[in-house]
């Protein structure tokens, strides 16, 4: 196809061609107009905000649970926006497990890699923001994002650019840190390495997890109100220049769902699904962070699995989505299958769909520890009195290591170093007891605290965006005033 434009008029005509597959296929978003109408009309009548809880990944279902339940109790209108970037049954069971399906107003159906997901979010949220503005121009709609998913980063600018309303970031201020001793990883004995993590100097190291550290940092910049899990997170936000009056420490967002699942038994026990887990004490191992899927690190992790199994450790390795691709790419799948066939102390499973099963196992006598690169699991193990071993060079929950001492970093330098640390923890009963008895860091009634603060902001007439003259307290605008642009 020949293209003519102003370039040709300036520099002469030349034949150029459109690249193939330039524009990816984009699925349409779907909306529940009746549900949207009822929430928006309620907000208009009662002069309240509408909270838009934006769900990104599998953990979002249970991390948002407390806030959604308390919003409903408080009579605050809300919408659930599901990105639907994870769309198979293994990753979306939370919709049913936490009774969120019937409350979901928008399904974004985003697909593709990080760049495509980001672009789709911008386009689809622009449409949604405009639709709500056109139908209900006086109603403030505030997106609520949490943690460090790609939605956490992209939703705030998409919404702000479209409506001049900034977001709320829950679980704000997650900034990765590393102990200084990490520079000697693999060069010293396990006991000394652990001691320096617990008692030595730490520093910021925000390279990983990627893109999660980028996501959470960008999200804070695009959000008006910030809710931090701990005082350390608040200090990070203050250092970065966020206004103190817009930051609250409310605790860990996983707490409410965790407490719910401690009281509820799943319909079918995880030990019925995997009877093998009833034999002895197991390490539940899940790896999915991109940094750990790089060649040397992933080879070290898979090698450590083999060595731990050979040494008699009971290992349950969970195949996460990214892990599945890495196993196929590096050709390790058949090795792990063979390891499982030959050894009763190795269980190779898919993702456990229900959060209830994860909690049931972690609480049981058959769980020795978690070996993970997840952020949320580091919090969960602190709350469930079990040792956490974090397979990373840094952590965005450093308080679990240098404050609570319920967590130990296990950097995948090589397979032997991973084995040495795991073996040391396994053999040191006093260390296990102290990790299990660690102080709990993440509070209680998190959703109730969050919604109580939001209710106060609504009652005080606060808005999720301020011009400089408003931030300085000089005067407030009665209306946006820029509709003509």
Other CB atoms within a 10 A radius of the CB of residue 143 amount to 29
The average pLDDT across 8-36 equals 75
* Neighbouring residues of 22: CB distance < 8 A, sequence distance ≥ 6: none
- Per the prediction, the chain carries an average pLDDT of 90
Q: Is the pLDDT confidence value at 466 over 70? A: yes
What sections of 2-32 are H helices per DSSP?
6-11
- The pTM (predicted TM-score) of the whole model is 0.90
Query: What region, left, alpha or beta, does residue 149 occupy, with left being phi > 0 and alpha being psi -120 to 50 degrees?
Result: beta
Q: Is the pLDDT of residue 56 over 80?
A: no
Which tokens belong to 396? 């965005």
As a whole number of angstroms, the distance between CA 405 and CA 331 comes to 36
Average pLDDT over residues 75-79: 95
Indicate the pLDDT class of residue 99, thresholds 50, 70 and 90.
confident
Predicted confidence (pLDDT) per residue in 386-407, tens digit = 999 999 999 999 999 999 999 9
Q: Residue 8's pLDDT is what?
A: 60
Least confident of 35-49, 110-124, 434-448, 452-466: 110-124
Q: How many CA atoms lie within 13 A of 128 on its CB side?
A: 32
The mean pLDDT value for 163-172 works out to 93
CB within 8 Å of 197: residues ≥ 6 apart: 179, 181, 401, 402, 408, 409
227-280 confidence digits (pLDDT tens): 999 999 999 999 999 999 999 999 999 999 889 889 888 889 999 999 999 999
> What DSSP state is assigned to residue 395?
B
> What pLDDT is recorded for position 382?
96
Q: How confident is the model at residue 124 (pLDDT cuts 50, 70, 90)?
A: very high
Does residue 106 or residue 412 have the better pLDDT? 412
What pLDDT is stored for residue 5 in this prediction?
56
Q: How confident is the model at residue 149 (pLDDT cuts 50, 70, 90)?
A: confident
Instruction: List, in sequence order, every beta strand (DSSP E) within 268-401.
Output: 282-286, 314-319, 346-350, 367-372, 388-390
Look at residues 374, 271, 349, 350 and name the one whose alpha carbon lies nearest to residue 63.
374
Helix (H) or strand (E) holding 92: helix 89-92
For residue 13, the model assigns a pLDDT of: 56
pLDDT of residue 476: 85
Encoded tokens for 77: 């209108």
Q: Which helix (H) or strand (E) holds 80?
A: strand 78-82
Give the pLDDT of residue 11.
56
pLDDT for position 88: 56
Give me the domains of the chain, ranges plus CATH numbers. 30-253+444-471 (3.40.50.2000), 259-436 (3.40.50.2000)
Beta strands 346-350 and 407-409 are unpaired
pLDDT band (50, 70, 90) for residue 294: very high
Tokens of 290: 């991109």
pLDDT at 89: 57
Which of the four pLDDT bands, split at 50, 70 and 90, describes residue 344?
Answer: very high
Question: What integer is the mean pLDDT of 333-353?
Answer: 93
pLDDT at 386: 95
Tokens encoding 108: 């974004």
Does pLDDT of 286 surpass 90? yes
């Amino acid at each position: 196809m020949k293209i003519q434009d102003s370039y040709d008029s300036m520099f002469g005509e030349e034949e150029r061609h459109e690249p193939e597959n330039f524009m990816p296929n984009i699925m349409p978003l779907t909306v529940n107009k009746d549900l949207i109408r009822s929430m928006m009309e309620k907000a208009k009548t009662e002069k309240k905000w509408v909270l838009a809880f934006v769900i990104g990944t599998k953990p979002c279902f249970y991390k948002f649970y407390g806030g959604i339940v308390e919003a409903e109790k408080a009579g605050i209108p809300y919408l659930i926006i599901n990105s639907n970037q994870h769309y198979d049954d293994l990753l979306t069971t939370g919709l049913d497990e936490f009774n969120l399906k019937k409350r979901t107003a928008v399904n974004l159906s985003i697909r593709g890699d990080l760049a495509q997901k980001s672009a789709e979010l911008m386009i689809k949220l622009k449409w949604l923001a405009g639709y709500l503005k056109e139908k209900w121009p006086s109603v403030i709609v505030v997106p609520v994002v949490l943690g460090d998913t790609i939605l956490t980063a992209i939703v705030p600018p998409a919404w702000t650019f479209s409506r001049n309303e900034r977001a709320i970031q829950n679980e704000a201020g997650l900034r990765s840190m590393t102990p200084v001793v990490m520079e000697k990883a693999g060069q010293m004995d396990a006991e000394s390495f652990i001691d320096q993590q617990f008692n030595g100097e730490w520093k910021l190291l925000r390279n990983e997890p990627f893109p999660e550290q980028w996501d959470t940092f960008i999200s804070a910049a695009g959000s008006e109100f910030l809710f931090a899990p701990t005082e350390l997170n608040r200090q990070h936000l203050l250092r970065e220049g966020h206004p103190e009056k817009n930051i609250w420490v409310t605790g860990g967002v996983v707490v409410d769902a965790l407490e719910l699942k401690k009281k509820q038994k799943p319909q079918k026990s995880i030990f019925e699904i995997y009877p093998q887990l009833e034999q002895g004490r197991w390490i539940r191992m899940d790896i999915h962070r991109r940094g750990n899927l790089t060649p040397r690190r992933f080879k070290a992790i898979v090698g450590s699995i083999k060595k731990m199994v050979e040494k008699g450790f009971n290992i349950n390795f969970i195949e996460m989505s990214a892990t599945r691709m890495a196993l196929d790419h590096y050709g390790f799948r058949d090795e792990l299958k063979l390891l499982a066939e030959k050894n009763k102390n190795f269980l190779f499973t898919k993702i456990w769909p229900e959060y209830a099963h994860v909690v049931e196992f972690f609480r049981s006598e058959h769980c020795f520890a978690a070996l993970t690169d997840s952020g949320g699991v580091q919090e969960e193990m602190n709350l469930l009195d079990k040792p956490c071993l974090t397979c990373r060079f840094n952590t965005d929950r450093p308080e679990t290591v240098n404050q609570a001492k319920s967590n130990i970093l296990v950097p995948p330098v090589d397979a032997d170093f991973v084995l040495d640390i795991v073996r040391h923890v396994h053999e040191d009963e006093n260390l296990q007891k102290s990790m299990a008895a660690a102080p709990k860091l993440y509070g209680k009634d998190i959703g109730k605290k969050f919604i109580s603060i939001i209710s106060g902001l609504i009652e005080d007439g606060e808005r999720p965006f301020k011009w400089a003259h408003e931030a300085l307290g000089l005067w407030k605008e009665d209306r946006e005033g820029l509709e003509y642009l």
